[in-house]
Amino acid sequence: MSGIQLDEAQARVQMAALFRLAAREGLHEGISNHFSYAVSEDGQQFLMNPYGIHFSQIKASDLMLFDTSSPPDLQDSRVDITAWSIHGAMHQANPAARCLVHLHPHYATALVSLENPDLPPIDQTTARFYNRLAWDDGFDGMGIGDEGLRLAGQLGNHNCMMMGSHGILVAADTPGLAWDLAYHLERAAKTYITALSTGRPVNLLDQATAEKTARQWEDYDQTTGNHQIHLDAMMAVLDAEDNSYRH
């Protein structure tokens, strides 16, 4: 946890950047995915993307502010009721998870669709997630009703969850950490799927090395703030290409 507190204006800009970056890196799927950020410490008030705007065009001002004590107008075409239900329940259940990112990225989704969807440690990036992933195999259709509370229970104290036959969910205290985890989780899945595609035996790291590597990732990030540096660097790329996300 970084402990960085963002005001609503800062959160809007960083979250808008996350949507643009997800589109830029091809992590999104159409207009079906959703991210949120709790602007209140109790998780009651949160920002979330409106339905129907492509990630590549989302701006800070587009994000909708929701309050779990006041359900939105479900006749509003911008409201994704499934996303509102899930994110609202999860923010309430775990207020420390200020930022929630749900995606269907290509390689991670392919991985969770396998009969054996493990992500074994075969390099330093896959090892980052060694014994640090929650797994959900309870997919039974679109998430409505109490799905948010169920997912919060499945996630527990983890930052990342692999959602069987579905995609991934990342929970973090800042947009920067959520971005860094989502990006590297998809990279890890890509590395593993690519290795499997060769048809040759995969060389696994031993447990001690895998755990050591995972802790080194954590220690380095805590010491340097690498996750935020990563996001800042990518926002600089966006600024050079098209800074309209800030508005």
165-207 pLDDT tens trace = 999 999 999 999 999 999 999 999 999 999 999 999 999 999 9
Model pLDDT, residue 73: 82
**Domains of the chain from N-terminus onward:** 8-246 (3.40.225.10)
Could you report the per-residue pLDDT of 40-56, keeping only the tens digit for each?
999 999 999 999 999 99
Model pLDDT, residue 124: 98
Spatial separation of the C-alpha atoms in residues 86 and 150, rounded to whole Å: 9
Query: Any idea what the Cα angle at residue 45 is, between residues 171 and 55, rounded to 5°?
Result: 60
Model pLDDT, residue 144: 59
List the chain residues with pLDDT less than 50.
1
Burial label for 194, CB within 10 Å (0-12, 13-18, 19+), is exposed
Spatial separation of the C-alpha atoms in residues 227 and 45, rounded to whole Å: 25
pTM: 0.95
Give the containing element (helix H, strand E) for 160.
Answer: strand 160-163
Model pLDDT, residue 2: 52
Q: Specify the residue for token string 């808008």.
A: 16
Spatial separation of the C-alpha atoms in residues 203 and 210, rounded to whole Å: 12
